Amino acid sequence: MTAFDAAILADAPALYLRCQDTTGPTALDSSGNGRNGTYTATGVTYGAAGVLAGEHAVTLDGAAGYITLPASVNGSGLAAYVLEAVVYKAASDGSFPRLISGENPGSSNAGMELGIAGDGSKVFAVAGNGSAYLEVDAFPSGSYLGQWLHIVARFASNTLSVYVNGALGASGALAGPLGANGHAPRVGASATFTGDLFAGTVAYAAIYLADLSPARIRAH
């Protein structure tokens, strides 16, 4: 176990994918909660170089590859919910890929998702409370392409925030709780529609069914 793993597990994630899998279809949940995900049959390359020495990752092709997670971690009706991912996107494209998605709040006013602009111009978090939705965007000084990124979407205390590499990128007010939904979340794709798949490498992904303080986000 790495120091990063220890920091994640100290905060009791509901699900934690280390992406060390060498084959599919099972995406092993390392949280201890048994919430394994499922890789698609195509579009996934295993054993990619990870962010830490000796660690691996999985690369998704942006066309067919993603990971489906249990519906029990979709955040439906929660007053506090956190999505966390460590990713690398090398090349620009014209999409708005989802990194972790439990719903499409922009059309349903429900659930929450975390994403990155395909050209690396921003990362974003979107959440809906059943009657309205909010998107918050973090913008880089240059581009988010070509570098490992630790990205967190946090919904707590009626506020939606997005953090990049431990720093608050943007936040806004949204009355809780999150709107109800019954979808199975996905890593690397929207939970509800085809398109905007992530073309890049995923080293870690975690979901928390409770708040994660800014200090703990920085500790990761």
Q: Rounded to whole angstroms, what are the CA distances from 135 to 51, 60, 69?
A: 28, 25, 23
Q: Fold for domain 3-219?
A: Jelly Rolls (2.60.120)
In this prediction, residue 142 has a pLDDT band, given cuts at 50, 70 and 90, of confident
Q: Rounded to whole angstroms, what are the CA distances from 95 to 20, 127, 219?
A: 27, 19, 31
Please say if the pLDDT value at position 214 is more than 90.
Answer: yes
| Residue 67 tokens, joined | 């990971």
In this prediction, residue 194 has a pLDDT band, given cuts at 50, 70 and 90, of confident
Distance, CA of 69 to CA of 35 (rounded, Å): 7
Distance, CA of 88 to CA of 29 (rounded, Å): 21
Tens of pLDDT, residue by residue over 83-129, are 999 999 999 987 899 999 999 998 899 999 999 999 999 999 999 99
Tens of pLDDT, residue by residue over 42-95, are 999 999 999 988 899 999 999 999 999 999 999 999 999 999 999 999 999 878
Distance, CA of 180 to CA of 189 (rounded, Å): 20
**Which of these, 93, 83, 121, 112, lies nearest to 200 by C-alpha position?**
93
What pLDDT, on the 0 to 100 scale, is given for residue 95?
A: 85
What pLDDT, on the 0 to 100 scale, is given for residue 25?
A: 98
Domain ranges of the chain: 3-219
CA atoms within 13 A on the CB side of 193: 11
How much of the chain exceeds pLDDT 70, in percent? 100
Strand 81-88 and strand 148-156: the pairing is: antiparallel
Distance, CA of 14 to CA of 72 (rounded, Å): 9
| pTM passes above 0.75 | yes
Distance, CA of 175 to CA of 218 (rounded, Å): 25
